[in-house]
Structure formats: C-alpha cells, structure tokens
Copies of this chain bind each other. A is one copy, B any other.
C-alpha cells in the first residue's frame, strides 16, 4: 500500500495525498477527510525511506553514551528516549565505550545515519584532561548537525552544553564535612572527565578555603568496583583519613566496606559522601549521604534546548542545573 494506491482509491493525485500526510494547509478540509478515511481504512504507512530521501531527514536523533549499563546514563537515555518520542523523534543509540578511538568511530558512524541532532551523554566526551584527549571529532560533527553535550563543555557555534554544577556541590559538601570537624578528607575518583575535574576542583578549593593543605596522596584514582575500592584502601596502610568525598556512589560504597572491614564506625570515625543518589546509596549500610546530580532535570533541559534548536530558535550554549545533597547516614551534619 503506497501513496499511489491511496491516491487512486481516494480519487486524487499523489501530491494531494502527500499534502494530507504532511497536513499542508493548502488542501480543503473535505479532501483531507476523504483521503484520511482511505488511509485509515487501508492501514497506510508512509515509507520512511522515500520520505527521508526527499526530506533528507528521518526525524531521528542519535544518542551516544559510553555505556548504558551505568545507572546514571541508563536513566538519562531512558528519559531522553521517552521524551524525544513525544516530540516525534526516534532515537538511535550507540554505546561507544570510553576509549578515544571508539568514541571517534561511534560519532563518525552515527553521523552517516543522517540524524537530525547528536546527543552525547556523559562528561567523558568533553575531553579527558589526563590524556589531553582530542575533541576535534566533536567539533567536526557540529559542522553538520547540532551537538548536545550532557555534562561537559566544549565551546562552539553549534554545540550546546548542559551542565551539572559539580564544582559547587562538591565544594559545599566538602565544606560541610570540614565544618563537622574532619581534617583528612580523601578524594576518591575513577575518571579524569570534565565532570570529575570539576569535582576535584571543588574539593581542593574547599580544603584551601578552610586552610587545609591539599595532599596528592589523598587524591585516589581507582576503578569503580566496590570490592576493589575496599581492598585497595585496606592495602594503603600509609593513608590516613577521616572523611571520603567520592565522585560516584560505587566508590563511596567501597569506602563504606573498607570502614566495616577496619571496624571503623561510620560516620563517627569516618564520614563518607557519594555521588549520583543511586539505588546503591540506599542499599548499603549505613545508608549513604550522596549528591544528586539531578539527571532528570538535566535531561529535561537538554530536550527543551534540542527542540528549540531544531526549530531554528536561538538557544544559550551553556545551561546549568543545581545539584542537591541527599543526606543519609554516612555523614553527621
């Protein structure tokens, strides 16, 4: 059943059918109704390829994230997909992994799909500072279609950055921890991403503001696996600390496990703060005080901006979302 069949059955030309499908105003209501009736009666579905070919668009946005098995990103993708569909856009999903080369390949491949916009979920796309990673592949993509970064910043004509205020939230949380009397706070991270660097800065500035030296040994980088974190912390007998500021709940739970193994009381002997307000943070014991990055708000903001850009409106290139501290049992303030 194609446009010709419908045209024939409705006694009009294919042009008219096309206009009805696209709800053009220059078709009389009468004709519209007649054609619509025929379409409905025959379960007519316009061929997306032919359509895409003419329009050179598929009403599709590409989403790339390192991995949807990370809970934070999974929630984001879920939210984005649902809402984009409400606006009539489909999502094609690529999980790129964290390697520079894989990220580049993913972007390159997804661009070939003639997507209308590109959504990069995860701050690892803003260029890993440790390795001085290249971001020209993103700049290049932005020459073809608008690019949206979720929690990362790259300046550019056609690049829109949705940011979580990681710096401030960690600054505030670390300050509160210091105010509660902690003096040796560990910074626990698994990444050098844009977001992680800002968290680190917040941590360092909070210490400085309190007149406490920032020691390199107190910044621990480690893979995000609960038991691994526990074991490495246990092995580092030289390291003394009475507080932990983690960039993810998994790391923080590792610290909780460490405390338990060392028979330290939490939060009395050691104060711990996680990040992301994930299910883990209420699954562990004691339950974790954690910073909620408000992924839902960030997503909403992203969708809104995306739709405006696609409509050709002018949109801010940088927008912020405020984090929120979720106080639970691993802190005493």
Nearest B residue to A102 via CB reads: B82
Q: Are A82 and B95 in contact (CB under 8 A)?
A: yes
Q: Are A114 and B48 in contact (CB under 8 A)?
A: yes
Chain B residues with CB under 8 A of A58:
49
In the assembled complex, A22 has its CB within 8 A of some CB on chain B: no
In the assembled complex, A282 has its CB within 8 A of some CB on chain B: yes
Query: What are the interface flags for A216-258 relative to B under an 8 Å C-beta threshold, 1 for contact and 0 otherwise?
Result: 0000000000110000000000000000000000100100000
In the assembled complex, A156 has its CB within 8 A of some CB on chain B: no
Chain B residues with CB under 8 A of A47:
53, 114
Query: What are the interface flags for A95-132 relative to B under an 8 Å C-beta threshold, 1 for contact and 0 otherwise?
Result: 10000000000000100111000000000000000000
**Other contacts beyond A48-B52, A81-B93, A226-B282: 19, CB < 8 A:** A47-B53, A47-B114, A48-B113, A49-B52, A50-B53, A69-B71, A69-B75, A71-B74, A74-B74, A81-B94, A82-B95, A85-B94, A93-B93, A227-B282, A253-B283, A279-B280, A280-B280, A283-B283, A285-B285
Number of copies: 2
- A positions within 8 Å CB-CB of B: 45, 47-50, 52-53, 56, 58, 60, 67-71, 74-75, 77-79, 81-82, 85, 90-95, 109, 112-114, 226-227, 250, 253, 260, 279-280, 282-285
A69-B74, A91-B93 as given contacts; A48 in contact with B112, CB under 8 Å: yes
Of B53, B68, B284, which one neighbours A53 at CB under 8 angstroms?
A: B53
A-B contact pairs, 11 of them (CB 8 A): A49-B50, A49-B58, A52-B52, A68-B74, A68-B77, A90-B113, A91-B92, A92-B93, A93-B93, A226-B279, A279-B280
A260→B286 CA distance, assembly (Å): 11
Chain B residues with CB under 8 A of A71:
69, 71, 74
A56→B52 CA distance, assembly (Å): 13
Q: 6 tightest CB-CB pairs across the interface, nearest first?
A: A49-B52, A285-B285, A74-B74, A49-B53, A69-B75, A69-B78
Nearest B residue to A63 via CB reads: B93
A153→B112 CA distance, assembly (Å): 36
